Amino acid sequence: MSKWARSGGRTRAWVAVAAAMLFVGFAGVSIAQAESFRGVGRAATPDEIKAWDIDVRPDFQGLPAGSGSVRLGMEVWEGKCASCHGYFGESSEVFTPIVGGTTAEDIRRGRVANLARPDFPQRTTLMKLATVSTLWDYIHRAMPWTNPKTLTVEEVYGVVGYILHLGDMVPEDFVLSNHNIAEVQARMPNRDGMSIRHGLADVRGKPDVRNVACMTNCAPSAKVTSSLPEFARGTHGNLMEQNRTIGPVRGVETIPQVRPGPN
Ligand code: HEC
């Protein structure tokens, strides 16, 4: 028996001690980390992390089980959404419309034909959206704008179903649920319309924006401004009068009104 094998018992004991020390060590690290922020908050609890972890993915991972009818959705929509987005999703304020611009042929084909028309006045949400999970996720986390995260799971299913109904994708007696949402995905008008393959030749299928996080000598802050230069105002007439036919998005008034003088 070799010296190594004979000392096997002791070796195992050492491994156990080392493992225990490692464990204590790890625990020590997390305590030290928490302590290094002493007075600044505390470690998040598992329940808190769960409350933040609400993303719903295109394969529906993260989607809470449940259902909601189009009828319930209509009540939610009219009570909590229509004031900003319009009764039929046409938008009653400055926001772009949610519904409009899609056809039965788009639903069949999975591509929205109006997106290819430069003369089409607006791009609505249903025209651009490729994944129904995004609609569910976004409404659940961010809407109503003034009161996000207040809708129940049932209300979110209902209101998503209602929007889909306004877009003629589901009938008015439909009940959207985690069981049938994949079938609805197969009816999204622009489900096959999102791709990076059709980019310009110099993009070659890759994203055309590549940002690298600045870690040293970074500019303290970037000032982003956007305005229409004085000389360009009026070049294309009054933009305010040209914008959209689906609901009222107001453009900038580029031709100043002649107002009566003081005398
Ligand atoms: C007080 C006004 C207001 C109310 C009420 C409101 N929204 Fe919105 N909604 C907005 C604004 C503003 C945005 C754009 C927010 C942004 O881009 O950050 C938006 C964006 C959206 C979008 C994404 C549109 C897109 O194409 O990007 C959806 C979908 C939506 N809202 C649904 C709803 C639903 C459903 C409700 C009711 C439960 C609701 N909203 C209530 C103001 C509102």
How would you label 150-170 residue by residue, b for 16+ Cβ within 10 Å and e otherwise? ebebbbbbbbbbbbbbbbbbb
Measured CA to CA, the distance from residue 202 to residue 182 in angstroms comes to 35
pLDDT at 90: 86
Does residue 174 contact residue 69 with C-beta atoms inside 8 Å?
A: yes
From atom 36 of ligand 1, which residue's Cα is the shortest distance away? 81
Which residue numbers in the chain have pLDDT < 50?
Answer: 1-33, 263
Q: What is the Cα Rg of the chain in Å? A: 28
pLDDT at 27: 43
First to last CA, the chain: 115
Measured CA to CA, the distance from residue 166 to residue 160 in angstroms comes to 10
From atom 2 of ligand 1, which residue's Cα is the shortest distance away? 84
Measured CA to CA, the distance from residue 29 to residue 42 in angstroms comes to 15
Q: Does 140 contact ligand 1 (Cβ within 6 A)?
A: no
pLDDT at 5: 41
Q: Does 159 contact ligand 1 (Cβ within 6 A)?
A: yes
Please give the distance, rounded to the nearest whole angstrom, from the Cα atom of residue 84 to the centre of ligand 1.
Answer: 7
Measured CA to CA, the distance from residue 88 to residue 100 in angstroms comes to 9
pLDDT at 25: 40
From atom 6 of ligand 1, which residue's Cα is the shortest distance away? 144
Q: Does 152 contact ligand 1 (Cβ within 6 A)?
A: no
Q: Does 70 contact ligand 1 (Cβ within 6 A)?
A: no
Does residue 251 contact residue 94 with C-beta atoms inside 8 Å?
A: no
- The ligand 1 atom nearest the CA atom of 129: 26
Please give the distance, rounded to the nearest whole angstrom, from the Cα atom of residue 189 to the centre of ligand 1.
Answer: 20
Taking the CA atoms of residue 29, residue 32, residue 34 and residue 38 in that order, the dihedral angle to the nearest 10 degrees is -170
Does residue 179 contact residue 116 with C-beta atoms inside 8 Å?
A: no
pLDDT at 201: 58
| C-alpha dist (Å) from residue 155 to 22, 125, 173 | 48, 20, 15
Measured CA to CA, the distance from residue 225 to residue 208 in angstroms comes to 22
To test ligand 1's pocket by mutation, which of 76, 77, 85, 159 has the most ligand atoms within 8 angstroms of CB? Answer: 85
Measured CA to CA, the distance from residue 185 to residue 65 in angstroms comes to 16
Kindly tell me the burial class for residue 181, based on how many C-beta atoms sit within 10 Å of its own C-beta (0-12, 13-18, 19 or more).
Answer: buried
Measured CA to CA, the distance from residue 84 to residue 15 in angstroms comes to 65
